[in-house]
């Protein structure tokens, strides 16, 4: 039933670990995104994929690597986690890129690095 679903909802881990967040959408959309929301609620785009191809890659450390095995999935792997990576990560999807269709967001994954 859920349109954009992310797992896990909460992730608590120690510095230096590697972790993954998974995202799936059942809306039949072609484009998927990862956004990061910091403690002040500021949202910033990280990556975007269209039909499994990377189309947006903002200034994000190489420790972050997105992977899109198919149009319905976009996972985010993070290596060597740092304290500053603590945030809420939102997955989103849209029918197409180009600003003509709205984004649908998942409920977020709250990552806490200790």
Partner 1 sequence: GEDVEQSLFLSVREGDSSVINCTYTDSSSTYLYWYKQEPGAGLQLLTYIFSNMDMKQDQRLTVLLNKKDKHLSLRIADTQTGDSAIYFCAETSGGYNKLIFGAGTRLAVHP
Name the burial class of residue 87, with classes exposed (0-12), middle (13-18) and buried (19+) by CB atoms within 10 angstroms of its CB.
buried
Of the two residues 15 and 43, which places its CB atom closer to partner 1 in the complex?
43
How far apart CA 58 and CA 67 sit, in angstroms, is 15
Of the two residues 14 and 40, which places its CB atom closer to partner 1 in the complex?
40
Provide the minimum distance between the beta carbon of 16 and partner 1 in the complex, in angstroms, as a whole number.
28
Distances (CA, A) of 65 to 3, 37, 40, 57, 60: 23, 17, 24, 10, 9
Give, as one character, the DSSP assignment of residue 95. S
Write the binding mask 60 to 89 for partner 1: x where contact by CB under 8 A, - elsewhere: ------------------------------
* Residues in 12-41 at the binding interface with partner 1, rule: CB under 8 A: 31, 40-41
Reading the block at residue 100, the tokens are 């003509």
43 touches partner 1 by CB under 8 A:
yes
45 touches partner 1 by CB under 8 A:
yes
Query: Which residues bind to partner 1, rule: CB under 8 A?
Result: 4, 31, 40-45, 48, 50, 55-56, 90, 92, 94, 96-108
């Amino acid at each position: 039933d859920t349109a954009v679903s992310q797992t896990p909802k909460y992730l608590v881990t120690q510095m230096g670990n590697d972790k993954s967040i998974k995202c799936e959408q059942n809306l039949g959309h072609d484009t998927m995104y990862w956004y990061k929301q910091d403690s002040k609620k500021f949202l910033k785009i990280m990556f975007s994929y269209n039909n499994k191809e990377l189309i947006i890659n903002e200034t994000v450390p190489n420790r972050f690597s997105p992977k899109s095995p198919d149009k319905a999935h976009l996972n985010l792997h993070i290596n060597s986690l740092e304290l500053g990576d603590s945030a809420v990560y939102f997955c989103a999807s849209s029918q197409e890129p180009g600003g003509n269709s709205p984004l649908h967001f998942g409920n977020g994954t709250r990552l806490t690095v200790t």
